[in-house]
Amino acid sequence: MKNSAQDYTIDKTDVQILSLLMKDATMPYSEIAKKLIVSPGTIHVRMKKLQDAGIIKSSQLVIDEKKLGFGTISFMGIHLNKGSQYHQALIKLKKIPEVVELHYITGKYSMYAKLICKDSDHLRKVLNDNIQTIEGVDRTETFISLEESIKRQVKIEQFLP
């Protein structure tokens, strides 16, 4: 796989590095190097190249929202009056901290959002006071998640030649 901006080709070692870090982003380069039987410098250089090529965007800390009191995860289809209102709605939705993901989509809705709230009262308040007041939002449909059964990243091994 090549990145046109950097013309960087991912090889087996890169995939192994990425696979290890996708399981544990805090793994030290020295530990990765031991597992792959290469030098820590090699890992450092490859990580820099993967970052420069835009393949690695960032590393994130994953928290359990429920343990912090945010027990209601929902998904919301948002229908706009006109598709041209997307960018204005996006600006407003970015300001709502409970909206943790937003996708511009095809189909029944204009946008699809993931929200994390404390409870159903909190969700109702966000919906009524924040989302449905955005100019251009015609209607919404909310789906409350009962359980997150699968959460994973794409298996990168499939991209090897």
**CATH number for 89:** 3.30.70.920
- Is residue 137 domain-shared with residue 69, that is, in the same domain? yes
- Number of structural domains in the chain: 2
Q: Look at residue 112 in the predicted model and tell me its pLDDT.
A: 98
Predicted pLDDT of residue 144: 97
pTM: 0.81
Residue 22 inside a domain? The answer is yes
In this structure, are 57 and 111 located in the same domain? no
Identify whether the C-beta of residue 48 lies closer than 8 Å to the C-beta of residue 16.
Answer: no
**Average pLDDT by consecutive 10-residue portion of the chain (161 residues)?**
62 92 92 96 94 90 92 97 94 98 96 98 98 96 96 79 60
Q: Which residues contact 135 (CB under 8 A, 6 or more apart)?
A: 85, 88, 89, 92
- CATH number for the domain including 34? 1.10.10.10
Residue 139 shares a structural domain with residue 105: yes
DSSP, collapsed to helix, strand or coil, labels residue 15 as helix
Instruction: Based on the fold, state whether residues 31 and 80 are members of the same structural domain.
Output: no
Q: Output the six-digit token pair for 112.
A: 């699809």
Residue 17's domain comprises: 2-61
One domain, residues 70 and 115: yes
**Residue 99 maps to a domain:** yes
